[in-house]
Amino acid sequence: MPRPSILRGWFLIRRDLPHRRRLALTAVSFLLPVLLWCLVSYVPWIWHPDVKIELSAEREGVTTVFTAGDHVSRDFFPKFAEAVRGENKALLAARAAGKPESGAKRRNQKLLRQIAPLAVDHGWLAHEESQNDAALYQIWRDLASGAKTATRPALTAENLDIIRANWQQLSALSPEFSYRKLPDEPLLKLIPQGRPANPVYLPAPDEVLRAGLRDFTADAPDGELTMLQRYQRSLGIILWGFFWSCLIGIPVGILCGVFDFFSKLFEPFVDFFRYMPAPTFSTLLVAVLLAGDAPKIALVFIGTVFQMVLVISKTTRLLDPSLLEAAQTLGAKPKQIVTRVVIPGIMPNLYNDLRILLGWAWTWLVIAELIGVKSGLTEFIETQGRFRNFDRVFPVIILIGVTGFVTDQFLSWLHGLFFPWAGRSGAFSRSVAGVVTWPFRMFAAASKERLPVSRPPGAATPESDSP
Amino acid sequence: MKSLFRLGSKALALLALSGTLHAEPLKIAYSDWPGWVAWEIGIQKGWFKEAGVEVDFQWFDYVPSMDAYVAGKVDAVCMTNGDALVTGATGKPSVGIVINDYSNGNDMIVGAPGIQSVKDLKGKKVGLEEGFVEHLLLLTGLEKNGMKPEDVTIVNTPTNETPQVFGSKAVDAIGAWQPNSGQALKTVPGSKPIFTSADAPGLIYDLLAVSPESLEKRRDDWAKVVKVWYKIADYIRDEENLDDVLKILSARVKISPEEYEPFLKGTYILTLDEALKRWEKADGLGSVYGSNKVVDAFNVKFKVYEKAQDTEKYLDPSLTKEIAAKK
């Protein structure tokens, strides 16, 4: 039986696949990791060694307080829940014996707040109102009467019973929240609830998405930067570092590529220096340039410029020698050869080099932002990572990745636009290039027409002789 | 002539006044210990302005805050009485003018699962900041259990990095204070505190340590700072304010108020009357003077520094006593 046509022709030896298939594969290359991530996150019987606490309780006499969102191991969680159950049992026993504890108003107030994360998740309470006791009191009432039902997570029957029992005591004293009218004897605690989860360093995609949305849209607390401002600051460091590096690296690289004099004068030292890891200079840079962005920019510069000199000198050397010979035959002086032949000749490759070196500069960002006073996106990654809020760390890492990828793709597309004669360029970018360069071409054509008139005959420049 | 003189004196007074108005703010370095984060209440509520003193509180990690003090970048630093001696012996002396609190359990040696007591530490690695307060706590714990300092290997670790280092299992125990110790306990399930400052209350007093020059030059301003402190202490000790206090303190170190609440028990904030008792000269850990003597002897014995310090010079209760007298 012949295979259907969709399955045929995927594995061609050293031949390009049709355009549509290539696009499809590109999409799949992104979808595969995401799919894998979803699989590990959402299929309950794969991995999931932890329990993510959705409803927490405090234990008496223990300083470690777990809050909703914390991860604990699967072995520990039942012990945790059992400890709280034990406290409830002891409480009931004391009550039955007629000797309940007293002075538990504060404990009860905290106990009321046990349901705050649940209420926030269901949209019954705004995020910043999780200590609004009056509103929480009403939610207890609604949960007890059944006017509100929790769905994610649903409360266990055990907890619903506790809510009803507690509400009976609470409502007997006051229908509205009032600290003074809280029962003096302790109420029953809700039993912790949780759901299976992967370790805290691998949050599920939806958690990452939600945390990212919240962080990127939220206003920053006083004295801190919003995510957009952090992003701008990080971009600034990269771009300035790269700019200074280009300012030095490109001319030196070209000179080394053309003249053996400069090559022997600079390259051995550059070759030696680039093996010294840029981060080892960080304390030195801070001492010299003080705090602020300057040492960070300098680090990106040091990390990039030496590679840049070597890469560009190599690119320059690879220029087709016949072009140089032709220019020399036509009597070009060394300065003319550099400006009229070498630079235009290496331009397409130089552009590609810079594109790759910009990617190289990005790798220094994180280290640069850690030196001196921590700043930008990295400071956020650092602080949140320290508190194990990895769901908030991932969006920022992804943002850096996306920025790098998109810039690179865009620059690569521009390559086709700037240098249509070198390499491939799609029909679309050719037409854009046509539109963008139209005024220049018109201008050039017009000036060419005028050329013979304004010049003495026989003094044509070498390139105007080329067809 | 007389009026001219009066004008002149008025101008002088004005000048003097403008001099004080334009005085540099007092620069104070503080870090994440709950008793020092408490200054944040005074900052946020504007109590320093109310008291007529310009302050500039600068947030540091603990050891860098002492480095900044030694380098003369700040006029005062929040440190423990023991670390004030260490800083004095190796860098720059200071004078403690406020006792914020004594550590009552928040400083801990946390052992990994399987390490049940200090005795189990024999031959193990402990991550802490060498030569500073948690080192003192560990050595005290070892001594109380009849062990020698050589029985454990110290891995020099910045306190705020201890949770990660502990989580990576590179060490078997750490020495840290809250919120770092709590973070470590959460990071490694089954770990537990094996020796805390509650086992040696009064070993660790937390002070505001001022540089002697600054105290001499601007004593009046420092008196105002001390006064604000007792306002803060009273505010914290009033149960009614608990939620507000927790909100301010926990936000500074970026954890939730619920998690922060147990820390208040481990940091015994002293009111004016309680502080006066601790300022009395006496032997033993009940007095800050006694504590200093104990710590100094300890530091010399374990070669944290070479020469015994004149411990009384590190303390000046006069500002607190003046406030108490005016009351």
pTM over 0.80: no
- Describe the crossing of helices A133-145 and A105-112 by its angle, rounded to 10 degrees: 70
The whole-angstrom separation of Cα A54 and Cα B83 is 42
B142 CA to centre of own chain: 23
Handedness of CA B70, B72, B74, B76 (dihedral sign): positive
Confidence check: pLDDT of A463 > 50: no
A421 CA to centre of own chain: 36
pLDDT at A427: 67
The whole-angstrom separation of Cα B272 and Cα B22 is 31
The whole-angstrom separation of Cα A307 and Cα A253 is 10
Q: Confidence band (pLDDT; 50, 70, 90) for A100?
A: confident
Q: Is B243 on the interface with A (CB under 8 A)?
A: yes
- The domain limits of chain A are 50-197, 227-387
CB within 8 Å: A72 and B189 = yes
* Beta-carbon pairs below 8 A across chains A and B: 46
What pLDDT, in 10s, does the model give residues B17-76? 444 445 789 999 999 999 999 999 999 999 999 999 999 998 888 988 998 899 888 999
With beta carbons less than 8 A apart as the criterion, state whether A337 and A327 touch: yes
Q: If 0-12 CB within 10 Å is exposed, 13-18 middle and 19+ buried, where does residue A228 land?
A: exposed
CB within 8 Å: B182 and A63 = yes
The whole-angstrom separation of Cα A199 and Cα A203 is 7
Joined together, the tokens standing for residue A54 give 């959705």
Q: What is the ipTM of this complex?
A: 0.70
What pLDDT, in 10s, does the model give residues A118-154? 998 898 988 878 888 999 999 999 999 999 999 888 9
CATH fold of A227-387, please?
MetI-like fold (1.10.3720)
Q: How far is CA A33 from CA A29, A37, A443, in A?
A: 7, 6, 50
Alpha-carbon radius of gyration of chain A:
34
Looking at this protein, which amino acid is placed at residue B320? T
- Residue bearing tokens 């000797």: A99
What pLDDT, in 10s, does the model give residues A42-99? 998 899 999 999 999 988 877 788 888 888 889 889 999 999 999 999 999 999 998 8
The whole-angstrom separation of Cα B65 and Cα B84 is 12
| Chain B residues touching A106 at Cβ < 8 A | 239, 242
Give the E-state strand segments of A175-255 in sequence order.
Answer: 193-197
Q: Residue A131: name the closest of A182, A177, A183, A169 by CA.
A: A177
pLDDT at A130: 81
Residues 6+ apart with CB under 8 A from B190: A76, B112, B113
Mean pLDDT of A365-373: 85
Which chain B residue's Cα is nearest to A373? B60
| Chain B residues touching A68 at Cβ < 8 A | none
* Cα within 13 Å of Cα(A312), Cβ side: 27
The whole-angstrom separation of Cα A295 and Cα A315 is 30
Confidence check: pLDDT of A349 > 50: yes
CB within 8 Å: B257 and A110 = no
CB within 8 Å: B186 and A113 = no
What pLDDT, in 10s, does the model give residues B131-147? 889 999 999 999 999 99
With beta carbons less than 8 A apart as the criterion, state whether A420 and A436 touch: no
The whole-angstrom separation of Cα A356 and Cα A351 is 9
Q: Residue B182: name the closest of B294, B239, B113, B261 by CA.
A: B261
Q: Is B244 on the interface with A (CB under 8 A)?
A: no
CB within 8 Å: B186 and A70 = yes
Which chain A residue's Cα is nearest to B181? A64
Mean pLDDT of A323-336: 91
Which chain B residue's Cα is nearest to A73? B189
The whole-angstrom separation of Cα A245 and Cα A305 is 5
Can you list the domains of chain B with their CATH numbers? 24-104+203-326 (3.40.190.10), 108-199 (3.40.190.10)
Joined together, the tokens standing for residue A194 give 């949780």
Q: Confidence band (pLDDT; 50, 70, 90) for A451?
A: low
With beta carbons less than 8 A apart as the criterion, state whether A256 and A313 touch: yes
Q: Which is more confidently placed, A422 or A370?
A: A370
Mean pLDDT of B81-96: 93
With beta carbons less than 8 A apart as the criterion, state whether B81 and B295 touch: yes
Joined together, the tokens standing for residue B87 give 């800083």
pLDDT at B19: 47
Q: Which is more confidently placed, B254 or B177?
A: B177
The whole-angstrom separation of Cα B43 and Cα B41 is 5
Give one DSSP letter per residue of B57-89, joined into a string. Answer: EEE--HHHHHHHHHTTSSSEEEEEHHHHHHHHH
